[in-house]
């Protein structure tokens, strides 16, 4: 009945395999990959409606009842992220059509993007923690290929570091799984949650959860983000945008699941630690964003700040903060993708990456300049754009629990984000133009279309926040009350 849950993962995989055989028909590859992503987006909207009427959905593969088999679980939190990921990927593909170039397209760019999305969606939807590891690997292998695609000197150098760090992190993930299986003898997330609740979260279980914290912090860029600025600035623009929008968010999702569903009973240790790590991440990210000279560094450190800000909500842990986190996650995926696309286009137009060397872009490309202004305002959290509601809700949660330090850090970071992005706006967009009318490169129409679509999403999410409130509140309710999730998996009568 609920076979629809598996579609967001299986359809991109099948299409990706299919596209491998269409290597030379680039046009067909473009059309099919875009249709696939739109289809997945539609499927996730249907899923969201189904969850509203029927509660949390699950799909037991081969009919093995939980906790014995592998299963996919669709709750509002997961499906909202699947929906956003699909929309972001679809729009990024439109950007890629006019910019990535036939060299990449013939080297299986579209299949790799689809496999990346399959891994991301699988990670969001799975209800089995070993399956989460497998989906992570699907996503990572696709990302390894995408980051190295092109084979430039600096690209291969950074790709090697990125791959090595992620492989070591993966084996640590497996190590944590081994400990978990050794102590609890189960891998089903709902079952883990139930067993931890039964035996109480003893120190050994807290220790296991801390190993998971290290692993997911590496993937999400929470404090352990030393690999992020280097590797996010070398691949082609559209790949950067996809990475910034999707990869760290999967790590954040895993952290939320681990510490709200599976190990929520020792918040003095785990959630305090997450709060400290998130605070330090914000501070370090702000320092990086302030000290950066080139646009790419500034943009990548903005990713780091975003990660820290979302995880503040996990440390705060009230229902309001969770709702804020869901809003902010959706906003951050869209806004970071747009930011990276715009930054990459700036580099393409001027041939420069240092902020000081660009000037007067807004004279030649007025619409482009104002789109940058919109994404900047959204990232800072100015109403009525998309970042506002998330920031307000997380701030409200912080006030309620009296976490004023986290509140100050979170809102202080908004000022730094504003400063770092405004610096680019003032230096690169205003002033005398350095490009003469004759040398002016046109912005590809496909790129402009994707910017407009992203800007539309940002404005739409800000103005229409009320429209998705019912889904977001459901997601936050499930996060704060893990028993809802556990009951839907283990105690449902079919």
Partner 1 sequence: MESLMIILVGILVAIATYLILSRSVFRVIMGTAILSHAVHLLLLTVGGLKKGDVPIIGQADEAFTDALPQALILTAIVISFAVTAFLLVLAYRMYLTNGTDDFSQLGGKSDE
Q: Which two tokens stand for residue 239?
A: 């790949």
160 counts as binding partner 1 under rule CB under 8 A: yes
Residue 71 φ/ψ, nearest 5 degrees: -140, 155
DSSP 289-303: HHH--BHHHHHHHHH
Binding of partner 1 by 452 (CB under 8 A): no
Report the C-alpha gap between 494 and 420 in whole angstroms: 54
User: What's the min distance (Å) between Cβ of 203 and partner 1?
Assistant: 17
Tell me: does residue 144 bind partner 1 (CB under 8 A): yes
Candidates 171, 226, 370, 419; binder of partner 1 (CB under 8 A) is 171
Which residue among 157, 356, 440, 445 contacts partner 1 (CB under 8 A)? 157
* Comparison of 60 and 152: residue with beta carbon closer to partner 1: 152
Q: How far is Cα 435 from Cα 396, in angstroms, rounded to an integer? A: 46
Of 112 and 328, the one with the shorter C-beta distance to partner 1 is 112
179 binds partner 1 (CB under 8 A): yes
Binding part of the chain for partner 1, among 14-22, 106-114, 167-175, 446-454 by CB under 8 A, reads 167-175
Rule CB under 8 A: say whether 370 interacts with partner 1.
Answer: no
Residue with tokens 């060397």: 357
Give the binding range for partner 1 (CB under 8 A) out of 59-67, 83-91, 129-137, 311-319.
129-137
* 16 touches partner 1 by CB under 8 A: no
Q: Which stretch binds partner 1 (CB under 8 A): 169-177, 197-205, 423-431, 479-487?
A: 169-177
| Residue 189 contacts partner 1 per CB under 8 A | no
Token couple for 214: 């290290």
Q: How many CA atoms lie within 13 A of 115 on its CB side?
A: 22
Please give the helix or strand (H or E) that residue 210 lies within, else none. Answer: helix 203-220
Please choose, from the candidates 256, 69, 254, 245, the residue with its C-alpha nearest in 3D space to the C-alpha of residue 169: 254
Nearer to partner 1, 145 or 322 (CB): 145
- Give the nearer residue to partner 1 in terms of CB position, either 144 or 411: 144
First-to-last alpha carbon distance for the chain, in angstroms, is 11
Residues 214-243 that bind partner 1 (CB under 8 A): 230
Q: Write each residue from 418 to 447 as x if it is in contact with partner 1 (CB under 8 A), else as -, in one continuous string.
A: ------------------------------
DSSP assignment letter at 61? G
Q: Is 373 in the site for partner 1 (CB under 8 A)?
A: no
Query: Whole-angstrom Cα distance, residue 290 to residue 286?
Result: 6
Q: How big is the chain by its Cα radius of gyration, in Å?
A: 22
168 vs 426, which CB is nearer to partner 1? 168
User: Under the criterion CB under 8 A, does residue 356 sit at the interface with partner 1?
Assistant: no
Q: What is the DSSP letter of 265?
A: S
Q: 360 is written with which tokens?
A: 């007067």
How many residues make contact with partner 1 (CB under 8 A)? 38
Length of the chain as a residue count:
494
Q: Is 60 helix (H, G, I), strand (E, B) or coil?
A: strand
* Candidate residues 60, 105, 137, 319; the one interacting with partner 1 per rule CB under 8 A: 137
Rule CB under 8 A: say whether 103 interacts with partner 1.
no
Tell me if 471 sits within 8 A of 464, measured CB to CB: no
Q: At what angle do helices 203-220 and 153-184 cross, to 10 degrees?
A: 160
Give the pair of three-digit tokens for residue 176. 């944590």
**Nearest-approach distance from CB 21 to partner 1, in angstroms:** 21
CB 406 to partner 1: min, Å: 31
Does 151 contact partner 1 by CB under 8 A?
yes
Out of 182, 402, 464, 467, name the contact with partner 1 by CB under 8 A.
Answer: 182
The reply to whether 357 sits near partner 1 by the rule CB under 8 A is: no
Member of 31, 35, 168, 408 binding partner 1 (CB under 8 A)? 168
Distance in Å, CB of 415 to partner 1, minimum: 25
Q: Pick the stretch among 108-116, 175-183, 213-221, 324-332 that binds partner 1 (CB under 8 A).
A: 175-183
Is 492 among the residues that bind partner 1 (CB under 8 A)?
A: no
> Encoding tokens for residue 494?
């079919």
* Four-point Cα dihedral 251, 254, 260, 265, nearest 10: -90
Interaction between residue 174 and partner 1 (CB under 8 A): yes
Pick the stretch among 163-171, 206-214, 385-393, 469-477 that binds partner 1 (CB under 8 A): 163-171
Axis-axis angle for helices 319-350, 248-257 (nearest 10): 170
Residue 213: what are its φ and ψ, rounded to 5°?
Answer: -60, -45
Residue 74, φ and ψ in degrees, nearest 5: -115, 105
Instruction: Say whether residue 164 binds partner 1 (CB under 8 A).
Output: yes
Residue 205 CB neighbour total at 10 angstroms: 22
Who's near 153: CB < 8 A, 6+ residues apart? none
Binding status of residue 130 toward partner 1 by CB under 8 A: yes
Residues contributing to the site for partner 1 (CB under 8 A): 130, 133-134, 137, 140-141, 144-145, 148, 151-154, 156-161, 163-164, 167-168, 170-171, 174-175, 177-179, 181-182, 187, 230, 293-294, 297, 354
């Amino acid at each position: 009945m609920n076979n629809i849950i598996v579609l967001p993962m299986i359809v991109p995989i099948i299409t990706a395999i299919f596209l491998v055989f269409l290597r030379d028909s680039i046009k067909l590859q473009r059309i099919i990959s875009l249709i696939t992503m739109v289809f997945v987006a539609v499927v996730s909207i249907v899923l969201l409606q189904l969850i509203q009427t029927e509660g949390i959905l699950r799909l037991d593969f081969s009919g093995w009842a939980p906790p014995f088999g592998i299963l996919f679980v669709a709750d509002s939190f997961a499906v909202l992220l699947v929906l956003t990921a699909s929309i972001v990927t679809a729009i990024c593909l439109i950007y890629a059509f006019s910019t990535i170039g036939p060299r990449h397209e013939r080297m299986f760019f579209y299949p790799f993007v689809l496999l990346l999305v399959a891994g991301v969606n699988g990670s969001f939807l799975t209800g089995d923690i070993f399956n989460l590891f497998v989906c992570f690997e699907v996503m990572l292998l696709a990302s390894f290929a995408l980051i190295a695609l092109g084979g430039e000197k600096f690209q291969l150098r950074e790709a090697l570091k990125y791959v090595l760090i992620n492989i070591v992190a993966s084996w640590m993930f497996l190590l944590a799984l081994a400990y978990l299986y050794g102590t609890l003898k189960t891998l089903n997330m709902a079952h883990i949650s139930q067993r931890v609740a039964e035996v109480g979260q003893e120190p050994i279980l807290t220790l296991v959860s801390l190993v998971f914290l290290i692993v997911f912090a590496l993937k999400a860029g929470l404090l352990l983000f030393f690999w992020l600025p280097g590797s996010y600035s070398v691949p082609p623009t559209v790949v950067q945008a996809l990475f910034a929008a999707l990869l760290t968010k999967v790590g954040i999702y895993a952290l939320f699941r681990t510490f709200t569903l599976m190990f929520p009973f020792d918040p003095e240790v785990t959630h305090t630690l997450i709060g400290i790590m998130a605070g330090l991440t914000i501070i370090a990210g702000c320092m990086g964003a302030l000290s950066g000279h080139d646009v790419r560094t500034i943009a990548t450190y903005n990713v780091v700040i975003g990660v820290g800000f979302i995880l503040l909500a996990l440390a705060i842990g009230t229902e309001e903060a969770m709702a804020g986190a869901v809003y902010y996650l959706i906003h951050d995926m869209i806004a970071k993708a747009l930011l990276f696309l715009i930054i990459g286009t700036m580099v393409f137009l001027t041939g420069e990456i240092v902020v000081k060397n660009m000037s007067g872009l807004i004279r030649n490309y007025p619409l482009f300049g104002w789109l940058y202004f919109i994404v900047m305002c959204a990232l800072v959290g100015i109403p009525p754009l998309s970042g506002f509601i998330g920031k307000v809700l997380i701030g409200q949660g912080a006030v309620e629990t009296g976490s004023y330090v986290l509140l100050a850090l979170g809102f202080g970071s908004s000022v730094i984000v504003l400063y770092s992005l405004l610096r680019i706006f003032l230096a690169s967009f205003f002033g005398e133009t350095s490009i003469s009318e004759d040398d002016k490169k046109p912005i590809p129409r496909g790129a402009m279309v994707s910017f407009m679509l992203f800007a539309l999403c940002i404005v739409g999410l800000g103005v229409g926040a009320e429209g998705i409130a019912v889904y977001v509140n459901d997601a936050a309710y499930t996060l704060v009350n893990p028993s809802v999730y556990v009951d839907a998996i283990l105690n449902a009568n079919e």
